[in-house]
């Protein structure tokens, strides 16, 4: 599903793409997720992310990453220099996510088995508030309990010093 300019403006006006000043966050719209994607978000340790170019095509950059889900959103903590983060700063806020664990993405493109996983289209934003960072870190800690004693401090430090960013991928379709 691709957002038309009209759909984008309607969603923006409704506060779904970003909060309207003085009104707080929009209520999550979980019905935008397919049953398969919703179920997969609850059990998968990884999502595969591809920012979408202005023409709607996937970028050549795909990556498997840890994520934490919350309603219709998937949070990702990543390097501030990663293409996922740079794409958002360049205005490329649409992305496709595949939910499932298929191991490391094959850069040769020959074995992209992740493509059989449930997928969702999302609008990405960089979350900068300390409150949102704290919330996401709690979600990550609950999900990755075995790894969190090592990775939790790294994520927290990176978010504090700006070497990492928190990305929210809010589902807008399947």
Is residue 50 assigned to a domain? yes
pLDDT digit string, tens, across residues 135-158: 999 999 998 999 999 999 999 999
Is residue 10 assigned to a domain? no
How far is 159 from 56, CA to CA, in rounded Å?
Answer: 30
Is residue 25 assigned to a domain? no
CA distances, 69 to each of 9, 12, 45, 66, 84 (Å) = 26, 22, 10, 10, 17
pLDDT digit string, tens, across residues 86-104: 989 999 899 888 777 655 5
Is residue 86 assigned to a domain? yes
Q: How many distinct structural domains can be found in the chain?
A: 1
Is residue 23 assigned to a domain? no
- Residue 134 clears pLDDT 60, i.e. is over it: yes
Is residue 17 assigned to a domain? no
Higher pLDDT, 24 or 48: 48
Model confidence, pTM? 0.70
φ/ψ of 24, rounded to 5, equals 75, -170
CATH at residue 41: 2.30.110.10
Tell me the residue ranges of DSSP E strands in 52-136: 63-65, 68-70, 73-79, 94-99, 119-127
- Mention every residue, 6+ apart, whose C-beta is less than 8 A from residue 15: 23, 26
pLDDT digit string, tens, across residues 54-68: 877 766 666 677 888
Residue ranges making up the domain that contains 64: 32-173
Is residue 19 assigned to a domain? no
Q: In the numeric block, which tokens belong to residue 73?
A: 């959103």
What count of other Cβ atoms lies within 10 Å of the Cβ of residue 1? 10
Confidence at 30, pLDDT banded by 50, 70, 90: very low
Task: Look up residue 26 and give its DSSP letter.
Answer: P
């Amino acid at each position: 599903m691709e957002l038309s300019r009209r759909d984008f403006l309607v969603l923006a006006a409704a506060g779904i793409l970003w909060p309207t000043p003085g009104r707080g966050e929009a209520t999550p719209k979980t019905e935008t997720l397919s049953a398969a994607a919703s179920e997969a978000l609850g059990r998968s340790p990884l999502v595969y992310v591809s920012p979408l170019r202005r023409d709607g095509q996937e970028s050549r950059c795909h990556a498997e990453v840890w994520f934490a889900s919350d309603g219709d959103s998937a949070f990702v903590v990543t390097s501030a220099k990663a293409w996922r983060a740079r794409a958002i700063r360049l205005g490329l806020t649409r992305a496709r996510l595949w939910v499932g664990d298929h191991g490391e993405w094959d850069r040769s493109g020959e074995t992209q088995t992740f493509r059989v996983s449930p997928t969702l289209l999302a609008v990405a934003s960089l979350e900068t508030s300390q409150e949102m960072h704290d919330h996401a870190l709690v979600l990550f800690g609950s999900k990755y309990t075995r790894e969190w004693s090592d990775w939790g401090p790294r994520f927290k430090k990176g978010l504090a010093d700006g070497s990492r960013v928190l990305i929210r991928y809010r589902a807008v379709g399947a």
